[in-house]
Amino acid sequence: MKTTCTAAVLVIAGLALVVPQVLSHDGRPVPPAYTWADMNAIREEGRLLDERAEQMRRFHAAVRQAEDGLLCGALALEEAADIVLASARNDNPQFEQLIKQNVSARTDRERMMRVLLERIQAVEQSGLLSPSQKAHAGQLRCAFENELPLN
């Protein structure tokens, strides 16, 4: 009971100290007082976040391009894997590290080929492929399995 009362008193005292600093004399919020260094740090953080967002957009566009090319027959599996690998190296090195740790294969290209096939298989199992896309997916899988057996 004594601890609860003490905690309540501390909270009320803290609010009494904070509220006058947050509200002006007429009750409106007071804008925070940022220094030039704070403002520059905020701008730099914003720039870094924008840059990271652009990298993610490029990486996801490369993945979409590769998957679309595979499903319409315009790209071979090796070509699609190379496109995604190049983008991962430039724009999403965390993804490259993730698949190195979690996908067994002899080379990075083979690893990416497995990832692309698994992604296409997930889309196929969801019923989102057209009949021609299913045919291309089946051909890709068969060719890959004949060349490099899947785990």
pLDDT category at 14 given cuts 50, 70, 90 is low
pLDDT category at 151 given cuts 50, 70, 90 is very low
Question: Domains in the chain: how many in total?
Answer: 1
* 79 domain residue, yes or no: yes
Give the per-residue pLDDT at 37: 92
**Average per-residue pLDDT in the chain?**
86
The model carries a pTM of 0.72
pLDDT category at 29 given cuts 50, 70, 90 is confident
Residue 8 CB burial class (10 angstroms; 0-12, 13-18, ≥19)? exposed
* 29 domain residue, yes or no: no
* 30 domain residue, yes or no: no
**Residue with the larger pLDDT of the pair 113 and 145:** 113
109 lies in which domain range?
48-147
- Distance of alpha carbon 5 from its chain centroid, rounded? 46
Distances (CA, A) of 63 to 48, 57, 72, 99: 23, 10, 14, 14
* 6 domain residue, yes or no: no
**Cα–Cα distance, 3 to 49 (Å, whole number):** 44
